[in-house]
Amino acid sequence: MSKLQYSVSISLDGFVAGPDQSLDNPLGVGGQLLHEWMRERAAWRDAVGLEGGVTNASTAVLDRDDEQVGAVIMGRSMFGGGSGPWGDDPWKGWWGENPPQHLPVFVLTHYARPRLDCEGGTSFEFVTGGIDAALRLARADADGKDVTVPGGGTVARQYLAAGLLDEIQLHLVPVLLGDGVRLFDDKELAGTRVEQVDVVEAPAVTHIRYRMRR
Amino acid sequence: MSKLQYSVSISLDGFVAGPDQSLDNPLGVGGQLLHEWMRERAAWRDAVGLEGGVTNASTAVLDRDDEQVGAVIMGRSMFGGGSGPWGDDPWKGWWGENPPQHLPVFVLTHYARPRLDCEGGTSFEFVTGGIDAALRLARADADGKDVTVPGGGTVARQYLAAGLLDEIQLHLVPVLLGDGVRLFDDKELAGTRVEQVDVVEAPAVTHIRYRMRR
């Protein structure tokens, strides 16, 4: 069965994004510190068309995702979108002409717009039917592989609350953000036990995979 | 040089104690879930006079602390203390006749009281002179070994803010508490980088040691 995975970088003090998030700055103030570990990796640099980079213990974690993940679900702020309905010349998101996903991406939004096909195999489909519809569409396109929800937590929180999340891939980064968006932050989750599946120590990041218990 | 270490169990959603902490319930609601990994360990059971228990990857982490730590600093709520000044028959804390520390313990408090000597080599010294005085006393008694601050974060936060903390030993537990006391939770810390020193994967817990950068 195709799993639904939430993959997120988190600070030592528990933030998945910095404060003052906006559509112009979806990572929030200081949020880029959470992603430094990834920017040096050869796999990531290759995916965004840059040369060089290092190969280390993180590589296997990213490679595993590349192999096992067949579709992506994200919120509108991660796609990038401007405010209000899409205009005549709609914003194409943060990702440029050749986005790094190289997969079908499903964007949760209140505003319908036509599918956007990019270079390198990435497509953006805009889903107005909510999280269930997005997951159904993503699974259909994932070709038996897993579906991943990257990022800031708003979308993952909805899937977790609905009991639809199977795994959490945490990238724990040795930095303190002091303020920002917390992982989950939901009193209803008190006492929820998850299963620690595997731990990978890598330079300047620890990768931990958890399985939700049903 | 003797290091000052903060050692703490933390939930996946970033809590070091549950909500509604009180002198009667210093771990807060659900806070005991953070310490289950330790209660099964043979080393811990031996320290509190219980038999049995398991030996696994956590054992080396606890053994290392046993070898390297020479004194403990804690807050009054971790000692246990009742409210107001100490009475004629002062409360001896949570720890019973033979406390598990087997070390000199320095308790930060506003109320002076005589030193308490217990079985098994544990002593409680009550320090009213603040965190600098407590650290000076603890280092003097630690015999060249490290000083550790366990627990709920109030004391560790003060040492961190004063730039006196050298290491953080995190025990990351696969449970969600939903609410409670956050690690540090201080906007002044934004952008603080720490160094990830080592990672130990153990059953139902991941131990990560960080070094503060000066």
**Type of residue at A122:** T
Kindly report, residue by residue over B115-174, the tens digit of the pLDDT.
999 999 999 999 999 999 999 999 999 999 999 999 877 899 999 989 999 999 999 999
Residue B49 pLDDT class (50, 70, 90 cuts): confident
Give φ, ψ of A110 to 5 degrees.
-90, -10
Residue B99 banded pLDDT, cuts 50, 70, 90: confident
Largest CA distance in chain B: 48
What tens digit of pLDDT does each residue of A169-196 get? 999 999 999 999 999 888 999 999 999 9
* Alpha-carbon distance B163 to nearest alpha carbon in chain A (angstroms): 14
- For B199, which residue in chain A has the nearest alpha carbon? A201
Contact between B172 and A172 using a beta-carbon 8 Å cutoff: yes
Share of chain A above pLDDT 90, in %: 64
Q: Cβ–Cβ of B192/A176 closer than 8 Å?
A: yes
The total number of residues shown for chain A amounts to 214
Query: Could you read off the pLDDT of A102-132 as tens digits, one per residue?
Result: 999 999 999 888 999 999 999 999 999 999 9
Stretch among A77-91, B4-18, B102-116 having the lowest mean pLDDT? A77-91
* Average predicted confidence (pLDDT) for chain A: 89
- The answer to whether the CB of A141 falls within 8 A of the CB of A4 is no
pLDDT score, position A87? 64
Strands (E), B114-166: 116-117, 123-127, 146-150
Query: How many domains are there within chain B?
Result: 1
Residues of A with CB below 8 A from B205's CB? Answer: 196
Q: Which of B12, B168, B191 sits opposite A30 (nearest CB)?
A: B191
Domain membership flag for residue B24 = no
Place of tokens 């995702």: A65
Q: Is residue B72 part of a domain?
A: yes
The CATH number of residue A182's host domain is: 3.40.430.10
Chain B residues interacting with chain A (CB cutoff of 8 angstroms)? 12-14, 18, 29-30, 33, 168, 170, 172, 174-179, 182-196, 198-199, 201, 203-206, 208, 210
**C-alpha to C-alpha distance for A80 and A91, rounded to whole angstroms:** 8
Q: Is A30 close to B190, i.e. CB distance below 8 A?
A: yes
Distance CA B86, CA B150 (A): 23
> In terms of DSSP H, where are the helices of A162-210?
none
Residue B12 has its nearest CB partner, among A18, A190, A194, at A194
Give B157→chain A minimum CA distance, Å. 12
Which class for B105: exposed (0-12), middle (13-18), buried (19 or more C-beta within 10 A)? buried
Q: Is the pLDDT of residue A19 over 60?
A: yes
DSSP helix/strand/coil, B145: coil
CB contact under 8 A, B188 and A182: no
Round the average pLDDT of chain B to a whole number and report it: 89
Residue B134 in tokens: 């407590």
Provide the residue range defining the domain that includes A160. Answer: 4-18+29-83+91-212
The token duo for A147 is 């579906």
Tell me the sheet residues that pair with B88. none
Structural domain includes residue B205 = yes
Q: Nearest by CB to A13, which of B175, B178, B189?
A: B189
- Least CB-CB distance to A178: which of B174, B188, B203? B188
Domain contains A24: no
Q: Is A23 a domain residue?
A: no
Q: Which of B3-17, B45-59, B96-110 has the lowest mean pLDDT?
A: B45-59
Residues with Cβ within 8 Å of A98's Cβ and at least 6 positions away in sequence, in order, are: A49, A118, A119, A120, A122
Q: pLDDT value at position A88?
A: 59
Q: Note whether A131 and A137 are within 8 A (CB).
A: no
Q: Is residue B187 part of a domain?
A: yes
Are the beta carbons of B210 and A174 separated by less than 8 Å? yes
The candidate with the shortest Cα–Cα distance to B172, out of B18, B54, B7, B28, is B7
CB contact under 8 A, A190 and B30: yes
pLDDT band at A90 (very low <50, low <70, confident <90, very high): low
| pLDDT for residue A66 is more than 80 | yes
| Residue A152 covered by a domain | yes
Q: Looking at the domain assignment, is residue A207 inside a domain?
A: yes
Give A115→chain B minimum CA distance, Å. 35
Q: What is the pTM of this model?
A: 0.91
- % of residues, chain B, pLDDT over 70: 94
Q: Is the ipTM of this complex over 0.95?
A: no
Q: Left if phi > 0, otherwise alpha if psi is -120 to 50, otherwise beta: which for B121?
A: left
